[in-house]
Amino acid sequence: MGRPARFIPENKDGVLVEITVRAIGARALLTPGPNPQRFNEVVVGVMGRALENSPLELCGAVVLANHAHLLLVVHRQQELSRFMQHLSCNLSKEIGGRIRNWRGCFWERRYDGIVVSDEPEAQWARLKYCLGNGVKEGLCESPLEWPGVHAARALVHGEKMEGFWWNRSKEWAARNRGLDYGTYDFATKYLVGFAPLPAFRHLSPEEYRQKVAELVWEIEAEGEKKRDGNPVAGVEKILNQTPYEPPTRRTKRSPKPLFHVASKQARDDLKAELAAFLAEYRIASEALLGGNVNAVEWFPGGCYPPAFPFIGPPPPRRPPSPPTRSMTILESGAVERGEIPIVQVPVSSRASVPDPRARGQPP
């Protein structure tokens, strides 16, 4: 089954995209316990490094036990791809490999990126959904109480989240030289701030913080009403989750929408843009499949054309199994071993391979 097309509408002011990534098997590998401070430093540091490599605008973020949500303002698809590549790869190394000692796949699949329309109602609804995680599940009373990475505190108080990026290459070199180093000797501090939603950039920072604070109060009131007097799980239970066991009950899943909108007109407009994008992509793809190499220039902007197939001579035949050392058992029980066979490997084997460019093929 093919993956859905990665589509970012053209907008000079940027497009709000909601990102969701999930841990494999819905396991609580992203729970901040038992050392939430170190866990949050790692996550924010990787996030800050990814934002430095691919400058996007971060509007919201929350890292839950088995998945995470981000709200990003994207101008080009390539920026989003580079950001998520760096973020997903390094979080799996730092959290999965170093903190959790997890072996194998860390993420369930590629990230889900859903475009949010330019409507203020749609963007505000996605921010409310992002900040409401942890409260609507009955885990804590307020988004401000979540022990992991959560944008609520930074957005309400106008602060920046602090994290560290560790240069593992320098640590490796120091170990090879036999040098002793501390935890933060090869670390760089990153301060990650949050930008306002594109539809609310006209507000001053104080007005925007006040609106977010009112949104947090609304989330707390709705969560209390939904619990109907039942107590929340609490921070201690959140931190004591077992990260390696699959969940005991089936996690909630619903079909992914094409877009997040507030009106039918906005959905129709985005669907029309997507249909034109896919039609242009399909025409170029069929031409390229038919042998027209110049069709690679027909693909719409912001997409990833299919890769060219390998062109060249067929691979050489697989060599026979290499000879092994002869062993003879004498009557006395001793083992007589022959010489170790030697295989001469040619220094270079490229002389017989023709240059694809000499045959008019793309390099």
Quote the pLDDT of residue 346: 66
Nearby residues of 67 by Cβ (< 8 Å), 6 or more positions away: 20, 21, 22, 23, 26, 30
Q: Record the pTM.
A: 0.82
Distance, in Å, from the CA atom of 181 to the CA atom of 175, rounded to the nearest integer, reads 9
Chunked into runs of 10 residues, the chain (363 residues) has average pLDDT values of 76 90 93 92 94 91 95 92 94 94 91 94 96 93 94 93 90 88 89 94 95 96 92 91 82 83 95 94 90 87 79 72 78 81 64 48 45
Residue ranges and CATH numbers for the domains of the chain are: 15-262 (3.30.70.1290), 263-307 (no CATH)
The token pair at 121 is 């109602």
Is-cis flag, bond preceding 120, omega within 30?
A: no
How many other C-beta atoms lie within 10 A of the C-beta of residue 270? 21
Quote the pLDDT of residue 360: 46
Quote the pLDDT of residue 94: 95
β strands within 29-131, DSSP E:
57-63, 67-74, 112-116
